[in-house]
Structure 1
Amino acid sequence: MANPIESKTARDRLKPRREPYWARVEAGLFVGYRKAEQGEGTWIARRRTEEGKQVYRALGTFTDYDDAAKATRRWAESIDAGVSHKGMTVAQACEHYVTDLGMRKGTGSKKDAEGRFRRLIYGKKIGGIDLSALKTSHIKSWLAAQIESDEEDAEDEDDLRRAKDSANRNLASLKAALNLALNDRLVATDAGWKTVSKFGDVGRRRERFLPAEQRVKLLKACPEDLSHLVSAMLLTAARPGELASAAVQHFNWEQGTLALEGKTGYRIVTLSSSAMTFFAERARGKIGNAPLLANAYGQRWNKDLWKKPFKAAVKAAQLPPDVVMYSLRHTAISEMIAGGMDSFVVARLAGTSTEMIDKHYGHLRHDRTRAKLDAVALL
């Protein structure tokens, strides 16, 4: 007597076992349910080939029998259309693509793709997913993970742009590999990746600005050592790495300046009166080569030391999760421009170009100018 698997009630009464409980879908085609000891059971498709050989396909989990039966029919139809019935994972599809690249475009293109897949696909979770089970959500999660840490470590707009640009190139390589698998009939459909699009304008400015109320909440949520670094960024619009590298000797109280060195070279920035007082407190009792800003253990800050505490402070302050260290620099520059400071001066202070300031913050200057024009009675 056959074991019914069409209803959930019937499946719940089945005994767990390795061998699936089978139900006939049509002549020569079966769908099986493997009852697990715990958790959801899984579904398997089985078909007899013209040569009389049984072939199988793991279908994954389904809530309803009808959905499992439909998946079984789609699998059988793909075989009839010439698609290989042998399962291929994402990693295997990438290896297939690399081999094809070597034949068509030479060793240079092959090495580039192979290095990319080695970093991002081989040995990773996405690499082990069967092409027939690949979902759009898998690709989107893989893509987002590439920029997640880069966003947290970003020190300026260029870092974010480069991270997204790099992720776009990685997506293009992966989709090329998956499309080749589709063309070579190793998978029946491109539904799992066709609609995944690259990041848009990679030069687009970040929108996350921290108003005064949120800045206060963040500072209160930070431990004392981290609050000093956060305050320094808001007071100077400098990159966190530049401030982490600054020593006591780089602060000049008499001139009210701070010397910084970073990705755009060496510069001396003018400090506000409040910033002078702040850095004077940080320099008190320290020798010239000592870090001007240090953590609770006297160490110079770096992204590995500030990353987790800053993320915890953002959460504790109940701020949006996309607030990262760069948000502080973005906020400081925005306030400077909105306050009426000249783009050239802000660019010099922040260690960037006037072109970048005009491109990403010019709207703030126009808003201020418009407010002044509105105050003038022209007609």
Structure 2
Amino acid sequence: MPSAETDTPAKRARLAPRKNPYWTGVGGGRGGVSLGYRKSASGPGVWIGKVVIDGRRVEGRIGPGDDKGADAGMTFRAAVAETLAWSRQQYEAIAAATDAGGSHTAPTVRSAIAAYTAARIRRNAKDGTGAQRRLARHVLSDKRLADLPLQKLRASTIEAWRDRLPIAEPDAEKISSDSRPSISPSTVNRLLNDFRAALNAAAEKHRRELPAHLPGEIRVGTKAMPAQSNARKQFLTDDEVAALIDAAFAVDEDGDFGRLVLMLAATGARYSQVADIRVADLQVTNGRVMVPRSKKGKKAATVGRIAVPLSSETIARLRPALDGRPLDEALLTRRHMKQVAGAEWERVGRRSWKDSEMARPWAATRKAAGLSASVVPYSLRHTSILRGLRAGLPVRLVASLHDTSVAMIEAHYSAYIVDASEELARRAMLTMGSGPAFAEAAE
């Protein structure tokens, strides 16, 4: 729809600068949809959309004009199309408010995170609270991003927020230059996963009133950072693993911590999975343990158990945890002490291990085994994965036994896959040691 005032850059250049836009009706007649052009005193002007619905007037910025000197702007025709699409979103938003009883506010980054974390906490209080803490600390604390309406969210906005995060450089100190604790790229990627899920959930819920391009903006803006130094994982020798297991039994006279460390080393499972193993999961006759799958990021239908074979020596050291125990109890427990009158402590039963309760005995175990203070319990999982690869197990089997994906194994252990594959290939390589030509060449 041509306009005598704003349909070409040349005509817009002759307009007087003013705060009130030059309006042109583009749909619905009077009181319908209008496209405005706000002329700036310096620099390119801006297209403004306006819609009047049931007496309610709504305006919104459409984008910069393709004026002379503008790097990238919208033509009049493109601005009309965008305004019409924007107006449909406003109609949908008002319809959604009517369906909800008239109380509706435009979704923002803050409201998206609030809805997402509430749903996460309902599903799993521990994981949900962790996600809530990360998002509050690194996203909601950034008001420029947190209060932004989702309708205006762009990939560049998310990327600008990422640039403001105190991300640690390789081998850098853990304190950033602005005195905020720095965070590693792997932590940023976990944060981005949560942020992406929150934004996608909101985009799905409010799809009628948000731009169709929003999911693409979210996908681009929350793209994972390149892994920094994937090879910096801790791999232990068989002797070091054995020393850790023996030391774990030595530092705890009840053997509780020893059995915990033994199970971590034998299965390569995550701490949360090992803590969730039941008495019935240790199948002595079959020489295996049924390790619960991680619940993180999985639907209920995919959660099950993984059969992990155990050596007879491992089972023998775990058997004391079976004696007289109900099948549905946690296999690995620790004594629970309670302070009574005065400063005395007394045993009041047993309970499952909690993550925070591992730090002190692990430090004593690591010291007794003569290993570096940098060695962490997760090194037992890395070592288990590497042990499977070096033994020539198929990557798919290694991934299945450790409740992870082939893609993750290939991404983080690719160097060791190449070494293992080459060793297997050498076993099948062509040799001509008995042929006459080989004998002559050898001479």
Indicate the structure whose relative CO is greater, using CA pairs within 8 Å and at least 6 residues apart: 1
When the two structures are superposed, what TM-score results if normalisation uses the length of structure 1? 0.48
Larger helix proportion, structure 1 or 2? Answer: 1
When the two structures are superposed, what TM-score results if normalisation uses the length of structure 2? 0.42
Greater radius of gyration (CA): 2
